[in-house]
Amino acid sequence: MLHGGLGSGKTTLVSEIVHSIGSSSPVSSPTFTLIHHYDHAFPIYHMDLYRMDTVDAIHYLDLDTYFNQQDALIFVEWADRLGPFYPKEYFKIELTLTSKKRTCLITAKGTTYQSRLKKSSLRTIKNL
């Protein structure tokens, strides 16, 4: 789940992660296409909900079909738009950009994601 204003680096981060895990699919912003699917050993979905500003619009996308796929890696830009459709467990990545610095805060909801975050080497990283 990606949070952060316009230009804070959400799409760039998705691109870096997708390529770092070995997919050679070109990554681009799904602002108008809503959902991109990238080729990899497992499905990778990249969503941008910027234009989805009503609960009805989100409902229409039937996102549970994606969220229920156990082996899928899913990135959601503008995840705050999910409202009642926000999944129960997830990693949350909050990006901020000011004139002086960029920050990236990663938190986890639910025991599965919390233990993954604990096992990772991620700690406090400043001034990315």
Cβ(1)–Cβ(90) below 8 Å: yes
Interface with ligand ADP, residue 4, by CB under 6 A: yes
CA nearest to 7, candidates 99, 75, 81, 124: 99
Site size toward Mg ion (CB under 5 A) is: 4
Interface with ligand ADP, residue 23, by CB under 6 A: no
Nearer to ligand ADP, 7 or 110 (CB): 7
Interface with ligand ADP, residue 59, by CB under 6 A: no
Rounded to whole angstroms, how far apart are CA atoms 23 and 113?
A: 23
Nearer to Mg ion, 38 or 77 (CB): 77
Q: Which residue has the tokens 């390529």?
A: 19
Nearer to ligand ADP, 77 or 90 (CB): 77
Q: Are strands 2-3 and 90-97 parallel, antiparallel or unpaired?
A: parallel
Interface with ligand ADP (CB under 6 A) = 4, 6-12, 77, 102, 128
